[in-house]
């Protein structure tokens, strides 16, 4: 996959779109919808932030004990969707998700704002919240505990990489004659074709 010229073309196009998004003046230019499927077959979608990408695919970080983390543990197939209204562009990425190397998660964790680290340690993400004050107390207790030392990354908090097998670029056009360009894997390698809108 890494040296397939059609795939590399798709990744280059993706990088260009992301670069354009960063120039739009948006608060979160890398916000993307992440869709997963639970063991009961029920889909679930939420917005997460892409925190990096390269020729292997986009990367995001989260709590593996959250609903999305549990979904991905049981079924690594997932889909991402980026949409930027200001540039009338959309990108959809489908494939399998896998954990990134521990060293990469450690590096990203060390660069996070300290309060974000504390919050990730204090929150049992996706679990019922019986008392907001209790969560705030846990947060403050951790702030005091780690006041003068580094906060270790929890084992259940790490990065995931989407390994694409399908990437579609959509560009708005007049009269709804939108441009759609689909890159996808095949038994003989990556292919590219245009789709009707």
**Could you identify the residue written with the tokens 């004990």?**
65
Please name the residues in contact with 156: beta carbons below 8 A apart, sequence gap of 6 or more: 63, 64, 65, 69
| 176 is known as an active-site residue | yes
Catalytic residue among 56, 86, 176, 180: 176
Q: Enumerate the active-site residues.
A: 176
């Amino acid at each position: 996959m890494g040296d397939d010229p059609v795939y590399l073309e798709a990744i280059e196009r993706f990088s260009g779109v992301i670069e354009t998004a960063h120039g739009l003046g948006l608060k979160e230019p890398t916000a993307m919808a992440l869709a997963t499927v639970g063991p009961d077959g029920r889909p679930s979608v939420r917005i997460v932030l892409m925190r990096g990408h390269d020729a292997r695919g986009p990367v995001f970080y989260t709590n593996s004990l959250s609903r999305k983390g549990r979904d991905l543990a049981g079924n690594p197939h997932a889909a991402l969707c980026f949409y930027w209204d200001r540039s009338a562009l959309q990108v959809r990425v489908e494939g399998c998700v896998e954990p990134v190397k521990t060293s990469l998660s450690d590096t990203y964790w060390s660069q996070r704002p300290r309060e974000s680290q504390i919050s990730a340690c204090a929150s049992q993400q996706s679990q019922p919240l019986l008392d907001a004050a209790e969560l705030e107390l846990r947060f403050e207790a951790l702030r005091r505990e780690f006041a003068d030392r580094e906060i270790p990354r929890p084992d259940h908090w790490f990065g995931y990489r989407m390994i694409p097998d399908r990437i579609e670029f959509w560009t708005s056009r007049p009269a709804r004659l939108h441009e759609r360009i689909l890159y996808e894997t095949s038994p003989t390698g990556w292919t590219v074709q245009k789709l009707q809108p």
